[in-house]
Amino acid sequence: MRLAGATLFATLTAGAAASQAADEQREIRSLLDRMVRASRTLDYVGTFVYRNGSTIQSMKIIHRADADGSRERLVALSGAAREVIRDGRRVTCILPDDRTVVVAKRRPGRPYPSTVFGPEVAIGPDVAEFYSLSIAGVERVADREATVIDARPKDRYRYGLRLAVDHETGLLLKSELLDDRMTALEQIVYTHLDLPESIPDEALEPRISDAGFTRYETEAAEGAGDSSTARTQEWTIGWLPAGFRMTNESQDPIRSGHDPVDHRVYGDGLASLSIFIERGLDEGDRFEGPSSVGAVNAFGRIVEEFQLSVVGEVPGITVEKVAASILKR
Amino acid sequence: MTVNAPDSNEQVSAFVDGELRGPARDRVVDALYGSSELRRAWAHFHLIGDVVRKIGPVPGAGSIAGNVNAALSAEPVVPFEPRPRRPWLVPLPGLAFAAAIAAVAVLGIRSLDDGGVQPPPVAGASRPEVEATSSLPAAPDPAASRIASAAAPPAGSEAARRRWSDVAPNAEARLNVYLVNHNEYAGNGVRGVLPYVHIVGYQPAAGDYR
> Does residue A273 sit at the B interface (CB-CB below 8 Å)?
yes
Mean pLDDT value of segment B118-143: 30
Angle between helices B142-151 and B36-54 (to 10 degrees): 40
For the ranges A70-79, A281-290, B64-73, B160-169, which has the lowest average pLDDT? B64-73
Q: How many CA atoms lie within 13 A of B208 on its CB side?
A: 30
Give the sign of the dihedral formed by CA A30, CA A33, CA A36, CA A38.
negative
Q: In the CATH scheme, what is the code of domain A26-217?
A: 2.50.20.10
pLDDT at A299: 96
Q: In the CATH scheme, what is the code of domain A232-328?
A: 3.30.200.100
Percent of chain A with pLDDT over 90: 33
pLDDT at A320: 97
With contact defined as beta carbons under 8 Å apart, do A241 and A158 qualify? yes
Instruction: Between A28 and A91, name the one with better pLDDT.
Output: A28
pLDDT at B115: 31
Q: How many CA atoms lie within 13 A of A255 on its CB side?
A: 22
Instruction: Between A136 and B53, name the one with better pLDDT.
Output: A136
With contact defined as beta carbons under 8 Å apart, do A322 and A240 qualify? yes
The model's confidence at residue A197, banded by pLDDT at 50, 70 and 90, is very high
CB contact under 8 A, A247 and B186: yes
Q: Enumerate the domain spans of chain B.
A: 5-208
At residue A68, does pLDDT exceed 50? yes
At residue A69, does pLDDT exceed 90? no
Chain B residue with minimal CA distance to A188? B193
Query: To the nearest whole angstrom, how far is the Cα of A58 from the nearest Cα of chain B?
Result: 8
pLDDT at A283: 81
pLDDT at A98: 64
Mean pLDDT value of segment A65-91: 75
Mean pLDDT value of segment A16-26: 85
Mean pLDDT value of segment A88-100: 70
For the ranges A40-54, A135-149, A168-182, B142-156, which has the lowest average pLDDT? B142-156
The model's confidence at residue A206, banded by pLDDT at 50, 70 and 90, is confident
Dihedral class, residue B36 (left if φ above 0, else alpha if ψ from -120 to 50, else beta):
alpha
pLDDT in tens, A216-262: 665 443 334 444 444 556 899 999 999 998 888 877 766 656 677 88
DSSP state of A112: P
Instruction: Between B148 and A4, name the one with better pLDDT.
Output: A4
Mutate to test the interface with A, among B47, B117, B190 (most CBs of A within 10 A): B190
With contact defined as beta carbons under 8 Å apart, do B153 and A293 qualify? no
The model's confidence at residue A92, banded by pLDDT at 50, 70 and 90, is confident
pLDDT at A165: 92
pLDDT at A208: 78
pLDDT at A81: 73
Instruction: Between A36 and A107, name the one with better pLDDT.
Output: A36
CB contact under 8 A, B168 and A267: no
pLDDT at A254: 63
At residue B196, does pLDDT exceed 50? no
CB contact under 8 A, B164 and A56: no
ipTM of the complex as predicted: 0.75
DSSP state of A123: P
Measure CB to CB from residue A311 to each of B67, B68, B175 and give the nearest one.
B175
Mutate to test the interface with A, among B37, B107, B177 (most CBs of A within 10 A): B107
Nearest partner of A119 among B196, B184, B191, B195, judged by Cα: B191
Mean pLDDT value of segment B86-92: 25
pLDDT at B206: 35
Average pLDDT, chain A: 81
d(CA B34, CA B11): 15
pLDDT at B70: 42
Most confident among A13-17, A135-139, A263-267, B142-146 (mean pLDDT): A135-139
Give DSSP secondary structure letters for B85-143.
PPTT--PPSTTTTHHHHHHHHHH--EETTTTS----SSTTTT-HHHHTT--S-SS--HH
CB contact under 8 A, A218 and B64: yes
Mean pLDDT value of segment A96-121: 55
Q: Are strands A214-219 and A100-105 parallel, antiparallel or unpaired?
A: parallel
Q: Give, in order, the Cα–Cα distances in Å from B91 to each of A121, B106, B191, B192.
A: 41, 24, 37, 36
Q: List chain B residues with CB under 8 Å of A256.
A: 17-19, 60-63
Q: Enumerate the domain spans of chain A.
A: 26-217, 232-328
Q: 10 Å Cβ neighbour count for A264?
A: 20
Measure CB to CB from residue A263 to each of B168, B170, B181 and give the nearest one.
B181
